[in-house]
Every structure is written in structure tokens, then in C-alpha cells.
Chain A
Amino acid sequence: MTADEMVMDTNETEVADAVALRIYEIGYHIVPDTKEEELEKVVGSIRSEIEKAGGSFIAEGAPSLTKLAYPISFREGEKTVEYDRGFFGWIKFEAPIMAAQIIEAFLKQNKSFFRHIVFQTVREDTRAKMKAPQLREVKRTDVIKQAPRRVEEVSAPVSEEELEKALQDITTE
């Protein structure tokens, strides 16, 4: 193989790498001040960016207001803002390698997102099907708590005569 051929060969593999599709997932937090009606528009902007970069969608989680485990500070122009909640959503998609970088750059420059993550994953659904056993145990104790609750006896109104008679029965004994 001549040097020219080798250069061509490496170029071809580079091109093949750039075209090769990979599965990515992005997670994002939209600033909580965003109105519910505008969320769709914000998510739509990510979707169009992915499509523009040649990606195809696999799965998606709509943004929902989530309380954060710690306050996240975010620089909005001149001032720094701290958020304790955000609209968390995610998208899983298949795209060429270059697309991941483009989308990462898009999320970074867009001020609607105060935190994001992009990483490679697998096509299969990765969500665990089980519920946490601790939660199941809590449910079991709930059942036990409810079981001994007895239906209170509903007593009919007692007349004066009957009451007096019963009292006399007790005192004579």
C-alpha cells in the first residue's frame, strides 16, 4: 500500500466514523419560571435541533416540575440565579457522532436550560421495572394498619324505660 492509498484509507474510516450512528440520551432542566404553555415550544426547539443534525427519536420523557436535591446556581447574563426546582425532561435518540456535539452546544447556549447532560446509552429501555422493595414494605405495613380497624357498632336510640329497666336489673343482681 502506498502512502497515498493509506491517507485515503484513513480518510474513509474518518468519514465512516462521522456517519456511524450512535444512541444518545439527553436530560435537561428547563428554568421553573417558564410557563406550562411554553414548555412544548422549548422542547420543540431541541427536537428540531436533533432532526436538523440527522437524528431520529427513540423515546422521550415530557418535562415535569421536579424538586432538586440541592439548589443549582445558574448565570443569567449579569446576575446569578439559584433554582431549587426545574422542569426535568429527557430524550433518547439515534444520531451521527457529530450531532451529539452540535446538540450539546445548542443546550449550552440556550438560556432556557439551566442544566443538561448528554451521554451515550443503549437502544433498549433502561428504566427498571421493579418498584423499590422499601416502598413495597411500606405498603405492607399500611395494609396491616388498616386491617384491625373495626366497624363501630351503631347503637339504636335507647328509650328511658329500657334504660331504667336495665339499670334495675344490674342493681338487683
Chain B
Amino acid sequence: MSNNILTQNDIQHVDYKDIDLLKQFINPHGRIMARGKSGLTAKQQRAVEAAIKRARFMGLLPFIQK
């Protein structure tokens, strides 16, 4: 079974305010997971990427974490 969180939970849109969801797609350093690891489709990966970058800009997620 795939580990695609978005498909499993039937999530159509990714919102930059859903920090708990987005945190599952970043590693402990705050970097965005690669598609191979996140298990997302290309379209979903782009949406997650955009959302994480918006959340970073708004100070909701870190750019880097030591």
C-alpha cells in the first residue's frame, strides 16, 4: 500500500494554514521531502511545495531548523 497521506485521507486541496499536515512533508531540518519519500503524485507534490513555501514566508513553518 502506498504511503500517500493526501489520497488516504481524501484531501483535494492543500492549504498553507494546515501546519500539522504540512509538517509531515518536511524533515527534521525543515527541508521539503522528495517525491519518492512523500509518496505523492506530481500534482500533489507541487501543491504541497507551494503550500509549504507560503507557510514559510508567513512564519508558520521554518526555513531551516537546527
The reply on A124 being an interface residue by CB < 8 A is: yes
Q: Are B21 and A132 in contact (CB under 8 A)?
A: yes
Task: Contact check, A119 vs B24: say whether CB atoms are below 8 A apart.
Answer: no
- Cα A70 to Cα B57 with chains together (Å): 10
* CB closest residue in chain B, given A72: B59
Cβ–Cβ contact A27 & B18, under 8 A: no
The one of B11, B16, B23, B63 that contacts A27, using a Cβ cutoff of 8 Å: B16
What number of B residues sit within 8 Å (CB to CB) of A? 23
A125 surroundings in chain B (CB, below 8 A): 13
A31 to B2, CA, bound (A): 43
Taken together as a complex, chains A and B put the C-alpha atoms of A27 and B17 apart, in Å, by: 9
Nearest CB on A from B48, distance (A): 11
CB nearest neighbor in A for B57: A117
Cα A131 to Cα B20 with chains together (Å): 8
Question: Which of A86, A119, A126, A129 meets B59, CB within 8 Å?
Answer: A86
On B, residues with C-beta under 8 Å from A are 5, 9, 11-18, 20-21, 23-24, 54, 56-63
